[in-house]
């Protein structure tokens, strides 16, 4: 995503994958919170700042789906124990993130037979 971070600065370019700010709906309070994401291989890491992407969403076997919000999407983990709700700042960022997530899933040697459709 190329959106400006909450401090008003442009996000840094990170080698080895896509990085940027997305909104993530919190698990318990269901509020939207700006969160830094870094896509590396088949892992989508995230945290509160660029320096702290400490949590990981494994994309292999995960289901990526649409959301009611036209700029949003969901990721349901392979074990179906968690559903992440994410939202981009613009339609271009939405398309870019989904394309890169699908490409990461397909590029993984462990991707199985899941098919990705980008609309």
**For residue 5, is it within any domain?**
no
Domain that holds residue 91: 18-107
Question: How many Å separate Cα 55 from the centre of its chain?
Answer: 12
**For residue 10, is it within any domain?**
no
Give the domain CATH number at 25.
2.30.29.30
**For residue 13, is it within any domain?**
no
CB distance 93 to 2 below 8 Å: yes
Residue with tokens 């398309």: 95
Q: What is the C-alpha separation between 119 and 19, in angstroms, rounded?
A: 22
Q: What is the C-alpha separation between 49 and 46, in angstroms, rounded?
A: 8
How many folded domains does the chain comprise? 1
- The per-residue pLDDT for range 33-69, each reduced to its tens digit, is 999 999 999 999 999 998 877 899 999 999 999 999 9
Which one has a higher pLDDT value, 93 or 27?
A: 93
Confidence category of residue 13, pLDDT binned at 50, 70, 90 = very low
Outline where the chain has alpha helix (H).
91-107
**For residue 35, is it within any domain?**
yes
């Amino acid at each position: 995503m190329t959106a400006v971070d909450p401090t008003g600065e442009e996000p840094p370019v990170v080698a080895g994958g896509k990085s940027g700010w997305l909104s993530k709906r919190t698990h318990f309070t269901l509020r939207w919170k700006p969160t830094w994401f870094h896509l590396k291989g088949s892992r989508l890491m995230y945290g509160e700042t660029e320096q702290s992407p400490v949590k990981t969403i494994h994309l292999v076997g995960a289901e990526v789906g649409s959301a009611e919000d036209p700029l949003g999407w969901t990721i349901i983990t392979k074990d179906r124990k968690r559903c992440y709700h994410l939202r981009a700042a613009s339609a271009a960022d939405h398309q870019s993130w989904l394309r890169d997530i699908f490409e990461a899933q397909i590029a993984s040697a462990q991707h199985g037979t899941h098919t990705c459709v980008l609309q």
